[in-house]
Amino acid sequence: MVHVRDRHWAEEIADEILKQGRGPHEISTGISPSGEIHIGNLREVITADVVYRVLKERGVEVTLDYVADNFDPLRKVYPFLDASVYTGHIGKPLSEFPCPCGGHPSYAAHFLEPFLASLERLRIKVKVHFADQMYKSGLLVPQIIQALRGRDAIARILHECTGRHVEPEWSPFNPICGTCGRMTGTLVAGFSERDKTVDYTCPCGGRGTVSMRGGGKLTWRVDWPARWARLPVTIEPFGKDHATRGGSYDTGALICREVFKAPPPFPVTYEWISFKGKGELKKSKGNILSVHRMLEVVPPEILRYMIVKTRPMRSIGFDPGLPLLALVDEFDDAASRGRDPRALQLAGADQFTPVGVPFRHLVNVVQMADFDLDQAVVILKRNNYPVADAAALKERAGYAIRWLREFAPPEVKFSVERTLPAAASGLDGGQRAFLARLASALRPGMNGEAIHALVYDLAKEAGLEKATAAFEAIYLAFLGQPKGPRAGWFLAFLERDFTIARLREAGRAAA
């Protein structure tokens, strides 16, 4: 297959979509807010947003929506929930019972609110449809009637596509029991098209009649195509689990055509974002890395860039540990050299001015500055970094600080001790002699490379067998630990008088 490098994948998707008609188009995304919404879900919204931007550029009438599926029932008590509270809510719609913190209108709102705020930070503008409102307002009543009437056709489609045997009492509509509030065990006993009501019985002993306006919900495989037909949706991205043969896209497309008499949307399938060392992060797996937590440590334009630059069907490996530093530097490099301009533009980062300091350096500098952002700027200026925009630099340094607190492995963490560390008492005679020589040999204006070379020379002069003993002496004298950042560079960045005084003190301290 010929791969045209400079053509972005979203252009190819737009070409395919436009072959089928120029719209108006509606791109729909969505998620059931049953727990923290994590960065795997972000791929769906960003993929949709990129296609949206390309269609817009081409003058196509298009909207981007987000269906917050807050009318889905709670399936189980997730590990992050208090079982004594939430066992009683299993089977109830997520919009209809209280949240874990008590500060939100509902369980669903508790998880949706930070996610929708994150979308704003990512500069993704979506029209939000709340599923409970779609039902309660009566918007889906025509589809509920079509589904109840088409019950046998739907049962046949499900059986043919999935092999699943559909029970005689099965219904595409799940009434919410007026007695226990659950919708997972109720059975439909009859319905009235005239009154727009459904009769039900429930395993709890409850029975009654509910309105089609919010008194229940279509089952997932029918709910999805009902939305397609009603909104109507012309383009929908979804994870590869829905795209399997007999999966919910297959059955949805048939139900959409046969029962709702509408064409299914153009499918855009994407791969998961996998977490190194943490296993595949699938939608249903809960709260490993929420989007809003991720945005604490990764600037929004970089999170977007990571997803935009990768074709949807290629997996993205994401590791919030050390590899995150490389991702940030890769982005800065692309932005400063104008590499990959289309991906940068579609990531909303073509106007981005790199801060001029590699992220991995910032991680060290903020630690040398004891997490004081003003002091970090002082250190960088002292070392001739072109600090053009101190505010932008401080903002980026804030990400470095939060990364150190949340995800940094222990080997990159250090702190410069204000007084000679106790560990320095373990230095041997050769190491002390080396430190004393270093104190005398440091000249103003020496850069990291020059100091690095000096360390090697002086280690020999002091009779140390290996240079590692010299480096260890430096780290013990300043950090109280045997390892640390690159020593020449580290010493060059420290304040000179402080450095020399500390080297002298460690060099003469009694064994």
Residues engaged in binding Zn ion (CB under 5 A): 99, 101, 103-104, 110, 177, 179-180, 202, 204, 206
For Zn ion, the closer CB: 130 or 260: 130
CB of 297 to Zn ion, least distance (A): 23
Q: How far apart are the first and last CA of the chain?
A: 70
Name, in order, each residue with C-beta under 8 angstroms of 411's C-beta and a sequence gap of 6 or more. Answer: 483
Whole-angstrom distance, CA of residue 396 vs CA of residue 357: 9
For Zn ion, the closer CB: 100 or 263: 100
CB of 42 to Zn ion, least distance (A): 21
C-alpha count within 13 angstroms, C-beta hemisphere, residue 331: 31
For Zn ion, the closer CB: 180 or 441: 180
For Zn ion, the closer CB: 179 or 440: 179
CA-closest candidate to residue 491, choices 458, 461, 450, 460: 450
CB of 424 to Zn ion, least distance (A): 49
CA 214 to centroid of chain Cα atoms: 32
CB of 97 to Zn ion, least distance (A): 12
For Zn ion, the closer CB: 103 or 338: 103
CB of 393 to Zn ion, least distance (A): 35
489 with 365: CB under 8 angstroms?
Answer: no
CB of 290 to Zn ion, least distance (A): 13
92 with 73: CB under 8 angstroms?
Answer: yes
Name, in order, each residue with C-beta under 8 angstroms of 431's C-beta and a sequence gap of 6 or more. Answer: 462, 464, 469, 470, 472, 473, 476
**Cβ neighbours, 10 Å, residue 453:** 12
Name, in order, each residue with C-beta under 8 angstroms of 408's C-beta and a sequence gap of 6 or more. Answer: 321, 322, 363
For Zn ion, the closer CB: 202 or 377: 202
Whole-angstrom distance, CA of residue 155 vs CA of residue 276: 41
Measure the CA dihedral 374/377/379/382, to 10°: -130
93 with 72: CB under 8 angstroms?
Answer: yes
147 with 259: CB under 8 angstroms?
Answer: yes
Backbone angles phi, psi at 447, to 5 degrees: -90, 175
Question: Coil, helix or strand for 131?
Answer: helix
CB of 106 to Zn ion, least distance (A): 9
CB of 199 to Zn ion, least distance (A): 14
For Zn ion, the closer CB: 178 or 239: 178
For Zn ion, the closer CB: 157 or 177: 177
CA gyration radius, the chain: 30
99 with 109: CB under 8 angstroms?
Answer: yes
For Zn ion, the closer CB: 92 or 227: 92
For Zn ion, the closer CB: 177 or 273: 177
Q: What residues does 64 pair with on adjacent strands?
A: 27
CB of 213 to Zn ion, least distance (A): 20
CB of 284 to Zn ion, least distance (A): 21
